[in-house]
Amino acid sequence: MRGLGARRWPLVGAIALAAIAAAPAVAQPPGPDDRSDRNLASGDHTADVRAAIEGGRAKNVILFIGDGMGDSEITIARNYARGAAGRLEMDRFPLTGAYTTYAVTKGDPSKPDYVTDSAASGTGWATGTKTYNGAISVDAFGNPVPTVLELAKRNGYRTGNVTTAEVEDATPAVLASHVVNRDCKGPDATSKTCPVNAKENGGAGSIAEQLVQTRPDVLLGGGKAFFDQKVKAGEFSGKTVLEQAAAAGYQTVTDTDGLRQARTDQPLLGLFAPNNMDLQWTGSPAKVGGTAPGICQPNAALPASQPKLADMTRKALQVLDRGRRDKGFFLQVEGASIDKQDHAANPCGQIGETVGFDDAIAVGVAFARTHGDTLVVVTADHGHTSQIIPNDGKSPGMTATLITKDGVPMTINYATNTPGASQEHTGTQVRIAGLGPQAANVVGVTDQTDLFYTMRRALGLR
Ligand code: MG
Ligand code: ZN
């Protein structure tokens, strides 16, 4: 545990960018932080690892999901924002392993589908069940399976679900809804695409409706557009999903001020964008033949009314931990647009979201440091396309070159689809790291579905 979260790199986000812009293009001498990291890397870890192994029960579980955040995405963000010898917050976890992420074939779970999407992989970590791409917490035959959030709620824990995407997007959806196709975000699409789930056919409704029916104590992200659609049957027929949420006891906030002022003694619904929330950073997208070496900029179009993922995490922890002495909570926090900007071959977008996600992890680690009965897990749902290649490499795909914190060029390659098309997920195993009770179960090579059982064991869920 030594050094975990004990220091923060002083340069984050826009400040780091300004520093990079001002710095000469030479490697900077290591500061005290860099030296202590080096000592940690070269020293004997035995006592640290032994001290980090903690069995028994956790009061709280905080799960951080970096969507599409494979080892390559982590390394790219680290090189750019901290330097090759620097460390992100997520790199400081004492116990680390890898897990496999594959999906299975619809109707035949014995046949792997090696490249998963966020829906099948999310169903894996949220329910312990392998399923087909596109499935939201239903098995390979379309049957609903209970999720860790639902079980936590049933066992008396508070629950929270936070994302930078639409709250109806696959990753937050798998925790609190069950539909046969991830596109069934609101009542309108559900009628056509998931008739078996539609309210008017006797189903539980769209993802948005089911999120409200499951009713986590905190639900924060984008996706207001689907809450503005009208429920088609049942008690709330003709009303919007947002009105259904109000009837379920939610206070709704839509901007940073609202989030800050929201009560912590009432369920909290935050919908900060019609669809996905905006990006932290911008820069040149990758292109065939490469870009001139450049740096990333803060996204000038980012509305100040949108909270950052770290802000949402902080507020969620306030609501979930308020006045609790015995039972704790389960909280999921997703950095969603690492994946979306990887698809778009936009390295600065991707890196900015990874750094924003890492800032949220720092909030979770700080909470765990003062609440030692907290299991914190950081992982991804699947690998993605971006790769660091030699600066003089001849890629058939799209590349971009960035000047990193080290003051040297780094070339990033996107070549899992034809140039201009959406780049693809990959089938690689991904990192899983943890601290706190039961975190030893992330060590080694596990499968994504094992994470469900680790969290269930940590909270003693039945
Ligand atoms: Mg996602
Ligand atoms: Zn994706």
CATH number at residue 342: 3.40.720.10
Question: Which ligand is located closest to the Cα atom of residue 65?
Answer: 1
The boundaries of the domain holding residue 246 are: 13-22+57-459
Domain membership of residue 18 (yes or no) is yes
**344-358 pLDDT per residue, tens:** 999 999 999 999 999
**Ligand 1 centroid from CA 436, angstroms:** 25
**165-205 pLDDT per residue, tens:** 999 999 999 999 999 999 999 999 999 999 999 999 999 99
Strand order, beta sheet including 329-335: 251-253, 268-271, 218-222, 158-166, 329-335, 60-66, 374-380, 430-435, 95-100, 444-447
Does residue 1 have a pLDDT over 70?
A: no
**Ligand 2 centroid from CA 418, angstroms:** 16
Mean pLDDT of 375-404: 98
* pLDDT higher at 117 or 17: 117
Domain membership of residue 51 (yes or no) is no
Hey, is 447 helix, strand or coil?
strand
Mean pLDDT of 8-34: 36
Confidence at 14, pLDDT banded by 50, 70, 90: very low
Please classify residue 420 by burial: count the beta carbons closer than 10 Å to its beta carbon, then call 0-12 exposed, 13-18 middle and 19+ buried.
Answer: exposed
Cα 452 vs. chain centroid, distance in angstroms?
16
Mean pLDDT of 157-172: 98
Question: Which ligand is located closest to the Cα atom of residue 276?
Answer: 1
Domain membership of residue 45 (yes or no) is no
**Ligand 2 centroid from CA 10, angstroms:** 31
**Ligand 1 centroid from CA 384, angstroms:** 12
**Ligand 1 centroid from CA 401, angstroms:** 26
Tracing tokens 């069995």 back to the chain, one arrives at: 55
Question: Which ligand is located closest to the Cα atom of residue 350?
Answer: 2
Strands 60-66 and 374-380: parallel
C-alpha closest to that of 9 among 91, 75, 97: 91
Give the range among 39-43, 181-185, 332-336, 454-458 with minimum mean pLDDT. 39-43
C-alpha closest to that of 140 among 125, 129, 154, 149: 129
* Alpha-carbon torsion (321, 322, 326, 327), positive or negative: negative
Please list all protein residues whose beta carbon sits less than 5 angstroms from ligand 1, which is an ion: 67, 118, 171, 336
Quick count: other Cβ atoms within 10 Å of Cβ 19?
A: 13
Does residue 11 have a pLDDT over 50?
A: no
pLDDT for residue 41: 57
Q: What does pLDDT average to over the chain?
A: 92
If one counts the domains in the chain, the total is: 1
Q: How far apart are alpha carbons 181 and 316 in whole angstroms?
A: 28
**91-133 pLDDT per residue, tens:** 999 999 999 999 999 999 999 999 999 999 999 999 999 999 9
Gyration radius from the chain CA atoms: 21
pLDDT for residue 28: 32
Q: How far apart are alpha carbons 6 and 9 in whole angstroms?
A: 10
pLDDT for residue 2: 35
Annotated catalytic sites, by residue? 118
Domain membership of residue 326 (yes or no) is yes
Classify residue 218 by its DSSP letter.
E
Does residue 27 have a pLDDT over 60?
A: no
**63-87 pLDDT per residue, tens:** 999 999 999 999 999 999 999 999 9
Residue 68's region, left for phi above 0, alpha for psi from -120 to 50, else beta, is left
Question: Which ligand is located closest to the Cα atom of residue 116?
Answer: 2
Cα angle value 416/100/181 (rounded, 5°): 70
Q: Which H helix or E strand runs over 446?
A: strand 444-447
Mean pLDDT of 292-306: 97
Quick count: other Cβ atoms within 10 Å of Cβ 402?
A: 23
**Ligand 2 centroid from CA 425, angstroms:** 6
Does residue 385 have a pLDDT over 90?
A: yes
Does residue 439 have a pLDDT over 90?
A: yes
What letter represents residue 22's amino acid? A
Strands 398-403 and 409-414: antiparallel
Confidence at 43, pLDDT banded by 50, 70, 90: confident
Give the range among 6-10, 18-22, 70-74, 77-81 with minimum mean pLDDT. 6-10
Residue 394's region, left for phi above 0, alpha for psi from -120 to 50, else beta, is beta
**Ligand 2 centroid from CA 285, angstroms:** 17
C-alpha closest to that of 286 among 402, 184, 452: 402
